[in-house]
Amino acid sequence: MQTRMRPTTSDIAREARVSLATVDRVINERPGVKTETVNKVNAAIKHLGYVRDVSAANLAKKRRYQLVFVLPDDSSEFLTELIRQINAVRLSISSDRTEIRIKKVAANDPHKLVSQLRKIKRQSVDGVAIMARTTPQSRDAIAELRAAGIAVVALVSDQPSSDVDHFVGIDNVAAGKTAGRLMGRFVPSNIEKGKIVVLTNSIQSYDSLNRRHGFDEILREEFPHLNVLPTIEGHGNTERIYRALENTIKNNQDIVGIYSLSSGNRAVTEFIEEAAISKKLTVIVHELTEHSKNGLRDSSIDAVITQHRGQIVRSAIRVLKAKSDKTNFDMDQEQIRVEIVLKENLAN
């Protein structure tokens, strides 16, 4: 029961009674082959179950995948971790004919983004993963990239899906709904009426909006006794959020929960630990970071909704490669899951 070798192009040539050159022409869709002959070859390919040896092909082609991650230049915990993951992958697949570069672009300057993307377009890049806010400028620049034959995926932050080849990240409405369900069920059921504080870095972000929509929908439909307050915008300013929280709690007697839509939850955990020890609030935040992990561990946070950064990075790479090769990929595998993390399933 010797392992049957995989058929090679020579086997096909023999089977189809043509020369290697013709097989090559057919496989690589080069012109100058009669339809009849093409069919003969394809039949042989099918019959023998031939699958092109991609690594040999890439070797022959000197194929190297040039991928670029375009990221905002802030230094949030989320981003730091994302970059850590990119670098981890970079090392582990350096032997995989894949080169990954990271370009940081000023987060709130659409023009910088555009010029960076233009620059990328002029280089021999195969794929770009972009994490950036959607602006008219970014949409145009992305369209240019794609027109130049460069694969583009949106990372985490949702560009309109029609603009990119693929979106790598979670369904934020579903994430919000998940948070809503947890909030509704975690808040003690003996209370008759309660208010939920919602925080975010930027109200403008689509991600935050979608999460909020999902959250509101579930609470409205299934937990109508809980009243969701207007979103407080923090702009990444810890102290500001802290004071806003303080104010809100002071002005509202019946706050029972806090929902933080974006990462950067330092203010929340600090507040919980210092100010609100008297009343037990249910706290749900987004994105697993060192801070939110600690929050889970010391029970100041009840649940974290997150997306696995390693999975995101690897998925983006797989998709970019596939798009660049014009091969299919397994949608199922590339589905980024909305993950729920409690103290108990916090790995490590």
Partner DNA sequence: GGATTCATGAGGTACGTACCTCATAATATC
Partner DNA sequence: GATATTATGAGGTACGTACCTCATGAATCC
Contact positions toward a copy of itself, by CB under 8 A? Answer: 1, 3, 6, 51-56, 58-59, 64, 66, 88, 92, 94-97, 99, 123-124, 171, 174-175, 177-178, 180-182, 185-186, 188-190, 214, 218, 302, 308, 310, 314, 330, 332-333, 335, 337-340, 342-345, 347
Regarding 91 and contact with DNA (CB under 7 A), the answer is: no
Contacts of 338 (CB under 8 A, 6+ apart): 170, 171, 174, 175, 178, 305, 307
Place of tokens 């595998």: 333
Place of tokens 């974006």: 262
Given 43, 47, 52, 191, the residue binding DNA (CB under 7 A): 52
**Dist. CA 214–CA 140, nearest whole Å:** 29
Binding partner at 278 among a copy of itself, DNA, none, C-beta below 5 to 8 Å by kind: none
Binding partner at 27 among a copy of itself, DNA, none, C-beta below 5 to 8 Å by kind: DNA
The structure tokens listed for 195 are 């208010």
**Dist. CA 219–CA 339, nearest whole Å:** 19
CB-neighbour burial class of residue 203 (10 A; exposed 0-12, middle 13-18, buried 19+): middle
Shortest distance (Å) from residue 174 CB to a copy of itself? 6
Whose Cβ is closer to DNA: residue 62's or residue 122's? 62
DSSP per-residue codes, 279-316: S--EEEEES--HHHHHHHHTTS--EEEE--HHHHHHHH
Binding partner at 180 among DNA, a copy of itself, none, C-beta below 5 to 8 Å by kind: a copy of itself
Q: What angle do CA 20, 21, 27 make, to 5 degrees?
A: 90
Binding partner at 19 among DNA, a copy of itself, none, C-beta below 5 to 8 Å by kind: DNA
Binding partner at 192 among DNA, a copy of itself, none, C-beta below 5 to 8 Å by kind: none
Binding footprint of DNA on the chain (CB under 7 A): 5-6, 8-10, 17-22, 24-25, 27-28, 31-34, 36-37, 50, 52-53, 56-57, 59-62
